[in-house]
Chain A
Amino acid sequence: MNSLGTIKTIAKRELRAYFASPVAYVFIVIFLLLNGFFTFMVGGFFERGEASLANSFFEWHPWFYLFLVPAVGMRLWADERRVGTLELLLTMPIAPWEAIVGKFLASWVFLGIALVFTFPIVITVNYLGSPDNGVILSGYVGSWLMAGAYLAVSCITSAITRSQVVSFIVSVVACLFLILAGFPPVINLLQGVAHNWQWLVDTITSFSVITHFQGFQKGVLDSRDVIFFLSVIGFSLFTTSVILRTHRTS
């Protein structure tokens, strides 16, 4: 069987497993409630009077994902190791990277599905005004890419441990770094401390998801931002494969 077929089979099983348990529904409901609350109550969607989702809606996504994505990703490998199905999976005639990519894609698609369910907000803003739907689409693409980057980081932490709780906490901390590196108060602080080394500040902020997500929010599809998210995903999945191999050798 070719790699594509194997990846599809694994992704299909994984995606089914999400919807077979209440986790998927709980996740989607919480995600939508948070989105509704923050967009309208905290983000002041109506008060702003803008026909745009950039500041009221997408603004919050890096923070929602901080907790929600590790919750989706924590079971990916930790559970396989705990239950022992990892042994079953890796003795099948497949390459380990096919399993890693298949499982990642399933969770990423699941996050995409949750994101698609926010469509009423798009209808609302179109009903009330005439927004630039291209910008909104670019925001969605950026949001999904960002979720993928968080998810890939969660893959690493999930492969490290058998415990889902440990996996969750470690990946929240790691994702927090990805956010804070570009969070304005933190940047100001860094500039105050290291004002002679602007390159250092730039390097640190260039690792932030916020910096790279801002372009998408404004409707600017910069290839550098896309490459950033894809390379975080690629690097993290590669690290996952190294960790899984290390478990088996030692």
Chain B
Amino acid sequence: MIKLTAHEMIEVEKLTKVFGTKRAVDGISFTVKRGEVLGFLGPNGAGKSTTMRMLTGFFPPSSGKVTVGGFDIAENPIPAKKLIGYLPENAPAYTDMTVHGFLDFTAEIRGLRGDAKNSAINRVVDLCFLKSVLHQNVDTLSKGYRHRTCFAQSIIHDPDILVLDEPTDGLDPNQKHEIRQLIRKMGEKKAIIFSTHILEEVDAVCTRAMIIDRGKVVANGTPEELRRKSEWAGAVTLRINGVAAGAVQEKLNHLRAAKKTTTSTIGTRVTATVFPRKAGDGDLTREVIEATSGWQVEELRTEEGRLDEVFRSITMPDTAGKEAKP
């Protein structure tokens, strides 16, 4: 097994894929370093799977270049593919084999033989909790087990690079948790790209997230950076007892850093949210605390920003404003 020390494990330059007249992927560029876990987000049909298929050498790109561990995947596919472990969408596996037979086959095709092969199989069987179904046929497995069997296949050669297309799709909450832990742990030493629809997963696993929409990268940054783009980032929510909603709104709206204030009343308690003029502005919290001194404030917190709201406002700019709740 070649162990690379190169910093940039995956380099994608102006990658484009055209199907007929549709540009499924339109000039995407990014890099992934060792030790990074890149989360790939985007609505259905945004081009996530197509990008991954080009990264792994299944689809040749219409234009652009993919370099994996220094090898161009179009010109030098075999050494490049050796470095990659790939979990395709829907986790396909040969249905006419047992789990052990399937893993044995994938280990062998990766060039593992004898003891090295057996220890590799044992390692992934333990990591993916497949012991109980090891001698069961793949077509009799439940979706979660089949998914984990295909996931096991992708890590059997301990690759430097992992490309995972929706790795937690179809798993129950416990299995999701296990797989996320595993991805995060492996991410310390490998370069990992994974796609997901689940935004909480981005926080749980990624060091960096990229949102793509209609074939283009529309946002790229750490989960914190993305969250700061939300209008909720830096907003202050507080609960006050004994002051009228109108008075609260009047006072908070006049703060220098405040854009707008929304309130709701339950009994004598008013819950107010002050949105900052500038997303992520730390001054707002200080101003709110000063302005409310003398009031009976029962709770006060600064919001971190919401990924789902960022996701919606970026991928559906027309409707995001209407849907954003007060």
A and B co-occur in one complex: yes
Q: Knowing A90-B58, A248-B60 touch, does A13 contact B78 (C-beta < 8 A)? A: no
A20 within 8 A of B: yes
Bound-complex Cα distance A95 to B96 (A): 23
Asked if A87 and B53 sit within 8 Å, CB to CB, the answer is yes
Select the residue from A10, A20, A21, A95 with max chain B CB neighbours within 10 A: A20
B153 within 8 A of A: yes
Q: Knowing A83-B92, A85-B92 touch, does A16 contact B78 (C-beta < 8 A)? A: no
Bound-complex Cα distance A175 to B60 (A): 33
B105 within 8 A of A: yes
Within 8 A of B (CB), among A1-57: 1, 5-6, 9-10, 13, 16-17, 20-21
Bound-complex Cα distance A11 to B82 (A): 20
CB-defined interface of A181-220 with B at 8 Å, one 1/0 digit per residue?
A: 0000000000000000000000000000000000000000
Within 8 A of A (CB), among B1-37: 19-20
CB-defined interface of B122-154 with A at 8 Å, one 1/0 digit per residue?
A: 000000000000000100000000000010010
Across-interface contacts of A6 in B (CB, < 8 A): 109
B321 within 8 A of A: no
Bound-complex Cα distance A250 to B19 (A): 6
CB-defined interface of B201-229 with A at 8 Å, one 1/0 digit per residue?
A: 00000000000000000000000000000
Q: Knowing A13-B105, A93-B110 touch, does A87 contact B57 (C-beta < 8 A)? A: no
B184 within 8 A of A: no
Of the candidates B19, B79, B86, B96, the one whose C-beta lies within 8 Å of that of A91 is B86
Bound-complex Cα distance A92 to B58 (A): 9
B63 within 8 A of A: no
Nearest-Cβ distance from residue B199 to partner chain A, whole angstroms: 26
Of the candidates B90, B95, B110, the one whose C-beta lies within 8 Å of that of A92 is B110
Across-interface contacts of A90 in B (CB, < 8 A): 57-58
CB-defined interface of A133-177 with B at 8 Å, one 1/0 digit per residue?
A: 000000000000000000000000000000000000000000000
Asked if A16 and B101 sit within 8 Å, CB to CB, the answer is yes
Bound-complex Cα distance A67 to B92 (A): 30
Asked if B81 and A20 sit within 8 Å, CB to CB, the answer is no
Task: Identify 20 residue pairs between A and B in the complex whose beta-carbon atoms are under 8 Å apart, listed by A's number.
Answer: A13-B97, A16-B97, A16-B101, A20-B137, A83-B95, A84-B89, A84-B90, A85-B94, A88-B88, A88-B153, A90-B58, A91-B56, A91-B84, A91-B86, A93-B81, A93-B110, A93-B111, A94-B109, A249-B59, A250-B20
| Interfacial residues, chain A to chain B (CB-CB below 8 A) | 1, 5-6, 9-10, 13, 16-17, 20-21, 83-85, 87-88, 90-95, 248-250
Other than the given A13-B105, A87-B92, 8 more pairs (CB < 8 A) read: A9-B105, A10-B109, A16-B101, A85-B92, A87-B53, A88-B86, A92-B81, A92-B106
| Interfacial residues, chain B to chain A (CB-CB below 8 A) | 19-20, 53, 56-60, 77-79, 81-82, 84, 86, 88-90, 92-97, 101, 105-106, 108-111, 137, 150, 153
